[in-house]
Amino acid sequence: MNPDSRILLIDDDEVSRRDRATVLSFLGENIISATTRNWQQRAEEFLTAPAGLEVALIGACEHVSLPQLLAAIYAWEAGVPFVILGDQAIPKIIDAELRSRVTSTLPGKLSYQPLLDALHKARVFNEHFNRLRDFDGVQDYNMFRSLVGNSPAVQRIRYMMGQVANTEVSVLITGESGTGKEVVARNLHLNSARSNKPFIPINCGAIPRELLESELFGHEKGAFTGAIASRAGRFELAEGGTLFLDEIGDMPLNMQVKLLRVLQERSFERVGGVNTIQSDVRILAATHRDLEQMIKAGEFRQDLYYRLNVFPIEMPSLRARAEDIPLLLNELIGMMEKEQRGSVRFNSGAIAALCRYDWPGNVRELANLIERMAIMFPHGIVGINDLPDKLRKLVESARSLELQDALRSEGVEASESGQLDNLGQALLPLNGIDLKEYLANLERSLIGQALDDSGGVVARAADRLHIRRTTLVEKIRKYSLQKKQVEDETDTLTD
């Protein structure tokens, strides 16, 4: 523990604050004890710089909300992780950036081992953040393009990455195209002890087979036709750092054998060379293919698979985490604005449509759609009708079915020909809707239209609505509808 580093304990309950400070002091920790009102003043009294604060333990918050407190600490020093004490639920309104800094939650009564574990996790976060804060390759410690979101799938990926990032083991990243496998690989490198060394990617499927060996291991002058000078390969370029083998499933079998030898012996020779070159690189690999099936088909070496698959990470598809799409939109649009490539916004109806789509191209497809919309509607607001047909028709169909079910539950039957299909285009407001009131207003409007179309004849209006006449009479009374009635004793509204 750095003797100049301290732990900030914030608790508005004087008794619990004193008890918790006693426990932490007994463990030998340097404590700054404070309330939600004076935490910054207290911290600045004891610290020479905000970066000296390792972790903030948050207890009772009586004078300010938990989200406000976390946001204030984050604005003061972005590298401070949070440990939440007690039964406080972390509000869903906390954005992904703040939520990612909550490294642990502990019960109100502190226990020895859980407390030590929580402090250790927080210190690992703080150490990594401080080590990478001035590194140009890191825009933000947690917010990488395809890792934005609060879904369980993304949280699981983040957790797994936190476990393996600062180790030397090989990682095999699997998942569909466009899910962000290279983003994960770069994130692992930047959060490892090799972060100040090169990260060298190579797409094994994009390089002709006859050139792949030279690309990986380099070649000597005259090794083959066109080799007019010696050239270092990707293994040499990545020395001390990380080599990312993208689309490893596309590597031919003869190259798999040579790669396996390098991984086992940690040495290689250039093409046409005789000198053995020692290699110190960490291997990260990725593929969208099923390597186990390829092994059964004799297309991939089993020994190489087990050498690469020490720690597997499977990336979730975008359709498996549709709840992350609004956050992804904000992140991708923000990056586009930062790069001065334009801007665009989506209304709630358009966002609902995006959340219903399957996204076979995953995050890459979503990013492409945003750029397309920014070109078509620069600095505008995109609605459902502005989206591509496949997205618009999908949401219209889904909303139509939902509305028909809701109307049936209220006693309004749709015809077999689907006459209510055109009603399914209503947009859900950003602040929500009173569904009962909405359906009542819609039913009142439809009854009024039916009466108008039928010249006020209740029996005909009931036929138009496919409900019983007595049911319609009750609804006319319910909504106090006053319509001029045709002189027909069978259609009187009075008993």
Q: Where are the domains of the chain?
A: 6-132, 163-314, 320-432, 434-495
Could you tell me the fold of the domain covering 163-314? Rossmann fold (3.40.50)
- E-only strand ranges, 30-100: 31-34, 53-58, 82-85
Asked if the domains at 6-132 and 163-314 fall in one CATH topology, the answer is yes
pLDDT digits over 149-184, tens only? 888 888 888 888 888 888 899 999 999 998 989 989
CA distance 219 to 202: 16
d(CA 276, CA 165) in angstroms, rounded, equals 30
Q: Is the dihedral of CA 75, 79, 84, 90 positive or negative?
A: positive
Which residues have a Cβ under 8 Å from the Cβ of 367 and sit 6 or more positions away?
A: 145, 332
- Residue 299 — pLDDT band, cuts 50, 70, 90? very high
pLDDT bin (cut points 50, 70, 90) of residue 331 is confident
Could you give the 3-state DSSP secondary structure of residue 290? coil
Q: What is the pLDDT of residues 446-462, one digit of tens each?
A: 888 788 778 788 888 88
Q: Which CATH number fits domain 434-495: 1.10.10.60, 3.40.50.1370, 1.10.287.3510, 3.30.420.40?
A: 1.10.10.60
Give the pLDDT band (50/70/90) at residue 283.
very high
Nearest one of 374, 425, 371, 370 to 395, comparing CA atoms: 425
DSSP string, 318-373: GGGGGGGHHHHHHHHHHHHHHTTS---EE-HHHHHHHHHS--TTHHHHHHHHHHHH
Q: Strand 311-314 relative to strand 282-287: parallel, antiparallel, unpaired?
A: unpaired
Q: What is the pLDDT of residue 398?
A: 54
pLDDT per position as a tens digit, 390-400? 887 776 555 55
Burial class (CB in 10 A: 0-12, 13-18, 19+), 429: exposed
CA distances from 129 to 125, 214, 289 (A): 6, 37, 34
> What secondary structure letter does DSSP report for 219?
B
pLDDT confidence of 495, banded at 50, 70, 90?
very low
CATH assignment of 320-432, among 1.10.260.40, 3.40.30.10, 1.10.8.60, 1.10.10.10: 1.10.8.60
Amino acid 217 reads F
140 band by pLDDT with thresholds 50, 70 and 90: very low
pTM of the complete model beyond 0.95? no
CATH 3.40.50.2300 fits 6-132, yes or no: yes
Q: What is the mean pLDDT of residues 313-338?
A: 88
pLDDT at 4: 55
pLDDT, mean of residues 303-315:
93
Flag whether pLDDT at 371 surpasses 90.
yes
Calculate ∠ Cα 74-79-80, nearest 5°: 65
pLDDT at residue 244 in the model: 96
| Residue 276, pLDDT above cutoff 60 | yes
Give CA–CA dist 57/85, Å, rounded: 7
